[in-house]
Structure 1
Amino acid sequence: MKKYENFCVSLENMKDIYNYEEPYDNVVLTGLVGLYEITFEQSWKMMKEILEIHGFAEGATSSPKMILRTAYKAGMIKDEELWLSALQERNNVTHSYNRKIAMGIITQTKQKFYKMFCELKEEIDRNWI
């Protein structure tokens, strides 16, 4: 599955986020936010494809929020609130020119979101492929 492969590559790239510490220059800051955004995008698109393959009609929608809710109901993800929080941060990426917003995305990625993505990969590998 191409979307699964894309997600795995983006997740592998995302672990580089731990190679950088504050203070971040603008290029590093932008790049770290970009790693988060790409991995989030690949994650929900992969979930959508897998849900469709497994017959979840809700997977046909293009709404990330609906995909996350369906993935939670299906047992693909365990913490719906965390994923909805990650969606909100993805929506904030368009405002990451604001250093405070960008720093919030990076901090949450290091503290919560990277682990969340790794748990998703483990779940997919174990139960969905």
Structure 2
Amino acid sequence: MDEMKDIRWKQRFDNFEKSFKLLEKYSKESISTELERAGIIQFFETTFELAWKVLKDYLEAEGYVAKSPRDSIKQAFQAEIIEEGHLWMDALSKRNLTTHTYDQELAEKLVIEIQEQFLPFLRKLYDRLSKER
């Protein structure tokens, strides 16, 4: 690995780690108010953004080229860095949707998806990259 690129993904990972831990912590709480749902969704948006960027930086340090979130996810799946590529793509779509619209019913469904589907694969990424840091 190029030393600068190696440092870059590790620095990005530090930010991902902080965001992930907050998302994980508060996702375990009972979420019943609009403010709590909005907070979880915001933590998810931030964590997911950092997740795909740390993937991109990690891939580049390994010699791959990825230019967008979609490219990064596809390349990471092909390189077997992540599993469940379809869930990552679904999370990307949901992240894009939440940044442009707000609907209470959508928010309630998304919180459940974050807790039950998205958080587990973010945990897998966290665990894998923690070992390599």
Query: Fold-level match, TM-score > 0.5?
Result: yes
Q: How many residues align?
A: 123
Which whole-Å CA distance do the structure 2 matches of 1:55 and 1:29 have between them? Answer: 39
The reply on whether 1:6 has 2:15 as its aligned counterpart is yes
Q: Indicate which of 53, 73, 80 corresponds to 1:75.
A: 80
Residue 96 of structure 1 and its aligned partner are, at CA, apart by 4.8
Query: Which AA in structure 1 matches 2:46?
Result: I
Percent identity (aligned)? 25
Tell me, yes or no, if the aligned pair for 1:7 and 1:43 is still in contact at 8 Å: yes
The residue that corresponds to 2:43 in the other structure is 35
Taking structure 2 as the reference length, the TM-score comes to 0.86
Structure 1 residues not aligned, in runs of 5+: none
The residue that corresponds to 1:101 in the other structure is 106
Q: Which runs of 4+ in 1 moved over 3 A?
A: none
**Aligned Cα RMSD in Å?**
1.4
The reply on whether 1:19 has 2:24 as its aligned counterpart is no
Structure 2 residues not aligned, in runs of 5+: 1-9
Taking structure 1 as the reference length, the TM-score comes to 0.88
The reply on whether 1:47 has 2:52 as its aligned counterpart is no
